[in-house]
Amino acid sequence: MTSNRWFIDSETGELSDVLLCPPDNYNWIPSNDIAIQTMAKGVRIDRGALAAQFGELVSALEGAGAACHFLKPRAGMPYQVYTRDSSQTTPWGTVVTRMMRPERKAEEGEIRTFYEPDDIWKSATQGHIEGGDIHIIRPGLVAVGVTGGRTDQAGAREFLGWFEDAGWTTRMIHFPEHFLHLDVIFTMVTENLAIAATDVLDDEDLDWFRAQGIRLLPVSYKEAMRDMGCNVLALGRDRVVSPRHSKRINEMLRAEGLTVIDPELNQFSQGGGSIHCMTMPLRRASLAAG
């Protein structure tokens, strides 16, 4: 039995606690198409800007009322900063995921050091699954992205099976590995509203989201891949954190009545991740309580 110290039942309930990792050892490496393209252009990380941008994100989260918790950065873990992937908070406690990429496998050790034993509800044992592919949309509804490159069918099936046992509606969303994780092409921004690369997702998946009462605001392929435009974090109470360079998307969100907090994060987006990737919500207010 877990302590249920950490709890979420949606992507959009009010955020009170979140897990991050300082970018001390962060580096762009040629492990995804976004970083490969950045490095091919001869662009190099500005480490001063990197530290400043991480600090700006932490300040934004704390200013919005979220308590920030931190993993200890470890040498040899260039993408540990993307805390979304190595664990997943659920309504029943934490799931330790099972990452596929060799440069990320060692992150599991630090994750298990952070969590107390009673925090951990389940550990993934089948195939591979990463948190960037998991979307706990609202109580009773969860989707997992499957590319075979970071999350495969075996990993998704095991994870979704735990929710199906609890009576939840589940769906696997299949898309090309080029897009890394589901949160590169789809993210909830407030209850029943999401931003999505609608020209990337299959029509059947778009229809499924809409059938669940989810309205989709369109993001282009270029915005999704160049800018990590879908990779935003809902804070609850119609607030969202979205990178400053996503100007059109931020205007679109504000036109929907959302408050947009827009830290600069281009040192991270050029490596293949952004705000959603860099944050694992540890506790949100329950949407079921409403």
DSSP class per residue in 54-80:
HHHHHHHHHHTTPEEEEPPP-TT-TTT
- Residue 190: give its domain's CATH number: 3.75.10.10
Residue 208 to residue 270: CA distance in whole angstroms: 31
Could you tell me the two tokens for 273? 């991740």
User: Is 173 part of any domain?
Assistant: yes
Does some domain include residue 279? yes
| 272 — pLDDT class (breaks 50, 70, 90) | low
Query: What is the C-alpha separation between 230 and 124, in angstroms, rounded?
Result: 26
Mind listing the pLDDT tens digit for each residue in 69-117?
Answer: 999 999 999 899 999 999 999 999 999 999 998 889 999 999 999 999 9
Residue 4 belongs to some domain of the structure = no
Domain of residue 66: give its range: 15-284
Indicate if the pLDDT at residue 242 is higher than 50. Answer: yes
In a domain, 158, yes or no: yes
The number of folded domains in the chain is 1
| Residue 66 tokens, joined | 């979220």
User: Which segment, 34-48, 172-186, 269-283, is predicted with the most confidence on average?
Assistant: 172-186
Q: What is the pTM of this model?
A: 0.94
Q: How far apart are the first and last CA of the chain?
A: 26
- The answer to whether the beta carbons of residues 131 and 280 sit under 8 Å apart is yes
Residue 2 lies in a domain: no
Q: Given pLDDT bands bounded at 50, 70 and 90, which one contains residue 1?
A: very low
Strands 134-138 and 141-146: antiparallel
